[in-house]
Structure formats: C-alpha cells, structure tokens
Structure 1
Amino acid sequence: MIKGLYEAHLPVSNLQASISFYKKLGLTLTREPQEHDKVAFFWIDPGRSWIGLWENEQAVKTPYHPSLRHIAFEVSLEDLKNAKTHLLSLGIELREDFGFAPIEPIVMPRDGHAMVYFNDPDGNSIEFICKLNKTSQEHEMMYLSDWEKI
C-alpha cells in the first residue's frame, strides 16, 4: 500500500529567505508563492516527493523537537562524506547532535545509517542521511571514520 513519503511541511518566518536557502541546497522550486497564500513547494525527487514551506510566524516559535520541524534528505554515502565541505561552501554550518561535534557524519550502528545535521534560517532541523550496508547491535553511536574501521 504505502510506497514512500510524498510530502513534508516546515514553518518559516521569511518565505523569500527560505526559498533562497532551499535553492542553495539544490532543490527545485515547483510552486511559487501566490498573492493569496504564503507557501512554496520544492521537489525533492521530481514527481515523487516534495517539501512545503509555509510562512507562519507563530509556528516558527514552536520549540524544536525531533517530532516537529525536522526533515531528512536521503543522500549517497559519498555525498554525505563531502557534506560538511559542500555546506560550508554555501555558508551553512553543521551542528552538534546526539552529543557529537559537527566534525564528520555520525553513525547509528543499530539502524545502519549515517547522518549530518544543520539548521535552515528558522532553526528547522535538516538532516542528510544515507543507509549503510551493515548494522551492528554491539556498537553505540560513533563517527563514520570509526565505523569504517570496524
């Protein structure tokens, strides 16, 4: 029945600033804001999934929680390894998460994926994530370089 995620939505305080940010990430703007609304949509995977950005000052004031104001974009392992350099070239800094400094991707061995985290202009949590080819129930979270030694 369910074949994937079609859309996700985030609140933003300044739609034009957010449009610029998400364009920098390489997403394709598919629906421009109209006079009667303050929403824009970007294709993540054209024809398959998109993200909606809604200008809403009150919603942006909702404190971040992983269940709110978060989206994860799937990337390749190679792109994840280069994410810090790429994002810094765009003026975007990685942020700490799970107690790990933003040095390199971190790995959740039990789930078999690696990720990096950063914020959009409104503090919405953005994640680049990739699936790894193995899992481990014996290891705790670690940096990707440590995972690759196992």
Structure 2
Amino acid sequence: MTHTAPPVEGLAHITLPVHDLEAAERFYVALLGAKLVRKFDRETFLRVRPGRAHEADADNSPLHLSVQFGHAVELDLFLQKGRSRPVPVPHPHLAMQVRPGDLDTCIARLQQAGVKIDGPRRLGPPGHASVYFSDPFGNLLEFVTLGYQGPVMDGPPDVSQL
C-alpha cells in the first residue's frame, strides 16, 4: 500500500439486535437510564417511506431505537424479528463505565428487575470491578469501574448463567 489511510474521527454508532422495540426501550431507557435519542418505529418509517412497508415487516428491519449513555456514541437497537435470544458469550459485549460508588446501586437495580448478573469481578488492577449481565435479547453487557472498594471475585466471567 502506498497511500496512508485517512484519519478516522471516531465511532458514529454501535448497533445491537433486539426483537421487541418496546421491551428494548423499557430495558435501556427505563432500567439502565439511557437517553432516548430517536425512535424509528413502524409509524415513523411509514410516514417517511410510505411505499416500503415490506421493509418494516422484514426480519432484518430498518426499525430501531437510538439511545445514548452520557455523551458516549449512540447505541442503535435494531429490530430483528426472526432472531431468537442466543446464549451469551464473553465477547463481544458492550461495557458501560460507572462511578465506583454507583456500582452497588447498579447491581441492586438489576437484581430488583430480575436481571441475572455475574460479578463484581476483578480482571484488572486493584479497584477494578466488572459486573456482567445480558439484555432481554441475549446481548452481553457490562458495568465497569475503577476504584471500587467492595468485595470482588477473581477470574473471568461465567456468562453461561445469564
């Protein structure tokens, strides 16, 4: 190669598959506290693209929610109707940074909602803590922090229980 790659300015968005937009909104916005940036549901899609209803009803649908945690890149949750909930695997996963003093509150909130968790675990330096869980669609997620003072388990996560 003789040409230098142009600089990438950053990530525009990340996508995850979901099979129910309302459940995704309840989980990501109501439970996890993400900001709803836009909702591209069936009604919106048909208003913008009236002649393309077949796309809205397809398994690989353009319908989605865009959410955002803090000032991070947008997370687009795309409707994939024919997708079943897979068994989570350790990678890939989406890790969300929280303050050390907020990790226990995050854990309690997940547990109160009936979400199974693994952790907190320490995989990094002292004070590192990670809590793994999956969304209702089988996408693996993580809360991660540095400076955590609570008890932690050592070793990689056991996501088979999630």
Q: Same fold (TM over 0.5)?
A: yes
| Partners of 2:126 and 2:11 in 1: CA distance | 19
**Residues 66 and 88 from structure 1, CA distance in 2 versus in 1: closer, same or farther, beyond 3 angstroms?**
closer
Cα RMSD over matched residues?
A: 3.0
Aligned-residue offset at 1:62: 5.5
Q: Retained in 1: the 8 A contact 2:88–2:134?
A: no
Give the alignment partner of residue 100 of structure 2, picking from 77, 88, 102.
77
Give the alignment partner of residue 87 of structure 1, picking from 110, 118, 121.
110
**Residues 59 and 109 from structure 1, CA distance in 2 versus in 1: closer, same or farther, beyond 3 angstroms?**
same
Q: Retained in 2: the 8 A contact 1:118–1:126?
A: yes
Match of 1:38, SS? strand
Matched AA of 1:38: L
Q: Which residue of 1 aligns with 2:69?
A: 44
| Partners of 1:43 and 1:56 in 2: CA distance | 20
Matched AA of 2:38: R
| Partners of 2:129 and 2:10 in 1: CA distance | 20
Q: Which residue of 1 aligns with 2:129?
A: 114
Structure 2 residues not aligned, in runs of 5+: 1-6, 46-61, 154-162
| Partners of 1:23 and 1:132 in 2: CA distance | 26
Aligned residue pairs: how many?
128
TM-score, structure 1 normalization? 0.68
Give percent identity, aligned residues only: 27
Q: Deviations over 1:68-119 (max 9, x none)?
A: 4x21111011111332212223x142323xxxxx4xx111135963111111
1:57 and 2:81 aligned: yes
Q: Which has the larger radius of gyration?
A: 2
Give the alignment partner of residue 8 of structure 1, picking from 5, 14, 31.
14
Q: Stretches of 4+ moved more than 4 A in 1? A: 1-6, 58-63
TM-score, structure 2 normalization? 0.64
| Partners of 1:3 and 1:94 in 2: CA distance | 36
Q: Which residue of 2 aligns with 1:140?
A: none
Q: Which residue of 2 aligns with 1:99?
A: none
**Residues 92 and 17 from structure 1, CA distance in 2 versus in 1: closer, same or farther, beyond 3 angstroms?**
same
Structure 1 residues not aligned, in runs of 5+: 97-101, 134-142
